[in-house]
Amino acid sequence: MMKSMDGFTGRIGWLEVICGPMFSGKSEELMRRLRRAMIARKRVQVFKPAMDDRYSEDEIVSHGDVRMKSEAVKSASEILAKLDWRTDVIGIDESNFFGTDLIEVVNRLADSGKQVIAAGLDTDYLGRPFAPIPDLLALAESITKTLAICMRCGNPAKHTQRLVESDDLIVVGAAGLYEARCRRCFEAGVPKQELLEFARPSYRFQQAAQS
């Protein structure tokens, strides 16, 4: 894991990527770096995917309820359309929701002298690399891997476990739909019946249905 590139000066651009599972503090780390840039009197713009409206439509919000104003965009190309080119630092939360179009966008921004900080999931609910994060990792000057705490055993967790049935790659949600899991406790896809006890009808409900 590399440290962020706060010490770089001049008009050189670069890309930083913060990745990891849900509940690992990615958004909080993104906001921490953006606040440091604001303290340094740099112009900062923050973007989030419009589809992620779990907590707010115009803020990025961590699971710990840390908030920062942001602009919601429907696509990666809209980041360019809404960008003030006087901006020095660009923060992008939930980068995994933007798809592979984000790769060209962040490269263009970094090549133009912007500092880009992108946060997102690096693996999906099946444990596979989650585009476009793997490509962004290959292009980045700085990478930070965050870990969560496994909700089953308490060990460091690198996976996001989906708890509901769906074949969709993206299902927007938080606690109740997902939880962090370590390598040992993770089940690709949706957990088996023993992990879905909350969804089973109670004995009393079954008795009532039979009567």
Q: Return the active site residues.
A: 94
What is the C-alpha to C-alpha distance for residues 118 and 116, in angstroms, rounded to an integer? 6
Going 100 to 109 to 72 to 63, the CA torsion angle's sign is: positive
Alpha-carbon distances, residue 12 vs 46, 84, 89, 111, 114 (angstroms) = 20, 18, 12, 8, 7
Among residues 92, 108, 104, the alpha carbon closest in space to that of 18 is found at: 92
* CB 133, CB 121: distance < 8 Å: yes
* CB 138, CB 151: distance < 8 Å: no
